[in-house]
A = this chain, B = another copy of it.
Amino acid sequence: MDQRSSPRFRRRAEMQLGIVGAGRMGANIARRLLRAGHEVVIYDSDSAAVTELETEGAVAAASLQDVVSGLDQPRAVWVMVPAAVTGAVVEEVAAMMDVDDVVIDGGNSHFRESALRADTLAERGIHYLDVGTSGGVHGLDRGYCLMVGGDETAVKRVTPIFEALAPGVDAAARTLTAEGAPTAAEQGYLHCGPAGAGHFVKMVHNGIEYGQMAALAEGLAILRGANVGAARRDDDAETAPLAAAGAYRYDLDVAEITEVWRRGSVIGSWLLDLTASALRTDPELSRYSGHVSDSGEGRWVVQAAVDEGVPAHVLTAALYERFSSRGEGEYGNKALSAMRHAFGGHHEKVTTR
């Protein structure tokens, strides 16, 4: 039975949710819930963002306290603010809550902090759910992939929200052997385990994301370098002679190549779709400088791999490439040049491609 067409689902759908944070993610989460018929009470320090959502059906709150007061008990409040302040806001919201209320941390908190926070709040009878949320700016239309950690009771209660936010089973062909009513995972949300499990799984998800982005980026760079043999090069003691320069004289259309890979190839993916789209309008990627930020999960997943003793060459290299893109390897590079000068009398040569 498809839950969403059942009477019970409809009844459950009439849920109230408080949302703190009306940025890129929070606002779209609110919208997707409103469209599904849920009631949303929302607050953001940027009142314009809240006012806009009010016109779309949300109840505007003027403060955190307003969000909490505006909800019937037992309450559920979803905190969706920048990582740097998430912990503090969750604590602040929870401090205003009563026994059996649920606070949802939809940000990218560290799974260990989430587990500890859940324990602390549990002492006061407050449920804490950590909900890793993937989907980015496209989530409003595509739905969000939700990775949930926390206690069964709270997860069960908030499930209508998850059902509304998740993409639903039709978003992808069902896995061959899947039969019967779609599981939660097939609809796009999953109760992964106790508190912290949701953020753990989201952390690993983002690690994979870093790795897949890096694989694609490196490949594109190699495509673009395919005509390196056509460039004039100096032959001197400081430069590796190009092996078989004649072999590297292809002037490839990287944008068209990403387009062709979108159909039928083994590497078809949503990231590829987005990349093809970006390259179509800017094949030289000239609007970017190449300073790539990283956020917490990409770092934490490396630390988890190290803690677990599991080799993660690719995920880690992907992270380090971002560090390097921002010039963080400079001192080490200078040290290399200093060593080369010391043993071989080599002078630096600034290469240009």
Q: Is A12 in contact with chain B by the CB < 8 A criterion?
A: no
Contact A310–B332 (Cβ < 8 Å): yes
| Cross-chain pairs A/B with CB under 8 angstroms, 23 sampled | A24-B345, A82-B236, A84-B239, A137-B343, A139-B264, A167-B263, A172-B263, A189-B260, A200-B250, A208-B267, A211-B216, A214-B215, A218-B312, A218-B314, A275-B338, A288-B333, A288-B334, A289-B334, A291-B349, A310-B323, A311-B332, A314-B317, A327-B353
Q: Is A74 in contact with chain B by the CB < 8 A criterion?
A: no
B169, B241, B270: the one contacting A83 at CB < 8 Å is B241
Contact B267–A190 (Cβ < 8 Å): no
**Set of chain B residues within 8 Å of A272, measured between Cβ atoms:** 269
Q: Is A46 in contact with chain B by the CB < 8 A criterion?
A: no
Known contacts being A211-B314, A285-B335, is A345 close to B265, with CB within 8 Å?
no
**Set of chain B residues within 8 Å of A263, measured between Cβ atoms:** 143, 145, 166-169, 171-172, 186-188
Known contacts being A201-B257, A291-B349, A310-B218, is A317 close to B319, with CB within 8 Å?
no
Known contacts being A134-B265, A266-B270, is A334 close to B290, with CB within 8 Å?
yes
Nearest B residue to A302, CB-CB:
B306
B201, B213, B243: the one contacting A339 at CB < 8 Å is B213
**Set of chain B residues within 8 Å of A184, measured between Cβ atoms:** 260
**Set of chain B residues within 8 Å of A36, measured between Cβ atoms:** none
Complex interface bits, A197-228 against B, C-beta within 8 A gives 1, otherwise 0: 10011001101111111111111111111101
Number of identical protomers? 4
Chain A, range 132-181, C-beta contacts under 8 Å to B: 134-139, 142-147, 166-169, 171-173, 175-178
Shortest 7 CB-CB contacts between residues of A and residues of B: A211-B215, A269-B269, A290-B333, A84-B235, A225-B308, A145-B265, A145-B264
Cα of A31 to Cα of B178 in the assembled complex, Å: 28
**Set of chain B residues within 8 Å of A211, measured between Cβ atoms:** 211-212, 214-216, 218-219, 314
**Set of chain B residues within 8 Å of A321, measured between Cβ atoms:** 311, 313-314, 324, 329, 332-333, 336
Contact B252–A197 (Cβ < 8 Å): yes
Q: Is A183 in contact with chain B by the CB < 8 A criterion?
A: yes
**Set of chain B residues within 8 Å of A224, measured between Cβ atoms:** 331
Total interface residues on A, CB under 8 Å, equals: 175
Q: Is A55 in contact with chain B by the CB < 8 A criterion?
A: no
Nearest B residue to A329, CB-CB:
B311
Q: Is A307 in contact with chain B by the CB < 8 A criterion?
A: yes
Least CB distance from A323 to B in Å reads 4
Which stretch from A2-10, A58-66, A93-101, A293-301 is at the chain B interface? A293-301
Cα of A249 to Cα of B71 in the assembled complex, Å: 35
Contact A215–B208 (Cβ < 8 Å): yes
Contact A219–B214 (Cβ < 8 Å): no
Contact B217–A332 (Cβ < 8 Å): yes
Contact B310–A221 (Cβ < 8 Å): yes
